[in-house]
Amino acid sequence: MTAHAFLAVDVTDDERHRLAAALTDASPGRPLPGRRHPPQNWHITLRFLGECSDGDGERIMHHLAATVDVAPARVWCDGLDAFPTPAKARVVYGSIDDPSGILTYLAALSDEAASDIGTPPEDRHYVPHLTLSRLRPAQDLRGLLAAFGEYRVPLDVTSITLFRTFSTRDGVRYGVVESIPLGR
């Protein structure tokens, strides 16, 4: 079977609840515009893979299991920003403060593992983030982002997870295929 897949750091249900509450408390009274990602889909992407067969997914996870050598760490979701820019926002995301650099390290390993199945290297600089909303067409969100209050929610990085996307009547859902714990 072939489906879209990606590598990410999953967010626990407890972390999702804390983050949703913090975002509500920090909101300037207006909901985030666009098509919001439901909390059950929240994650920190390390590498989008695109079309990925079951065999390719197994090879990627085997490569990661053999090479990942880092202990779990804590990062913080602590602000809002937008891609490509707040003035031309297409994606609203939670900024991630990663003092240890663990996410950049895991993204580089994920990119290396993806090359094992012939996926070209990522051509964009990795920016750790948690996607909250997608906008079509792009909007100027400078005012909204400036009005958003402060928040800081801890997220524990404990594993790398391979996800697949599934279309449902209620929208796209992500399913866990396999996870590799850190610090083994």
Q: In the predicted model, is pLDDT for residue 170 greater than 80?
A: no
Q: In the predicted model, is pLDDT for residue 181 greater than 90?
A: yes
**Cα angle, residue 160 at apex, residues 155 and 165 outer, rounded to 5°:** 100
Of 32, 25, 30, which is closest to residue 149 (Cα–Cα)?
Answer: 25
Residues 93, 131: Cα–Cα separation, whole Å: 4
Helices assigned H by DSSP within the chain: 13-26, 54-67, 102-115, 142-147
**Helix/strand/coil percentages in the chain, nearest 5:** 30, 45, 30
Q: What is the pLDDT of residue 148?
A: 92
Q: What percent of the chain has pLDDT over 70?
A: 98
Q: What is the pLDDT of residues 128-160, one digit of tens each?
A: 999 999 999 999 999 999 999 999 999 999 999
pTM above 0.85, yes or no: yes
Q: Is the Cβ–Cβ distance between 4 and 136 less than 8 Å?
A: no
Instruction: Give 116's pLDDT tier (boundaries 50, 70, 90).
Output: confident
User: Which structural domains are found in the chain, ordered by start?
Assistant: 2-181 (3.90.1140.10)
Q: In the predicted model, is pLDDT for residue 3 greater than 90?
A: no
Among 11-15, 52-56, 139-143, 153-157, where is mean pLDDT lowest? Answer: 52-56
Reply yes or no: is the peptide bond before residue 84 cis, omega within 30 of 0.
yes
Q: In the predicted model, is pLDDT for residue 1 greater than 60?
A: no
Kindly state the helix (H) or strand (E) to which residue 4 belongs, with its residue range.
strand 2-10
Residues 72, 128: Cα–Cα separation, whole Å: 16
Q: What is the pLDDT of residues 64-104, one digit of tens each?
A: 999 999 999 999 999 999 999 999 999 999 999 999 999 99
Instruction: Give 166's pLDDT tier (boundaries 50, 70, 90).
Output: confident
Query: Which strands sit side by side in the sheet containing 129-139, from one edge to the other?
Result: 35-36, 129-139, 89-97, 73-83, 153-157
Q: What is the pLDDT of residue 168?
A: 76
Q: pLDDT higher for 128 or 30?
A: 128
Burial of 9 (0-12, 13-18, 19+ CB in 10 A): buried
Joined together, the tokens standing for residue 87 give 């003035």
Instruction: Give 30's pLDDT tier (boundaries 50, 70, 90).
Output: confident
Residue 34 is given by DSSP the state S
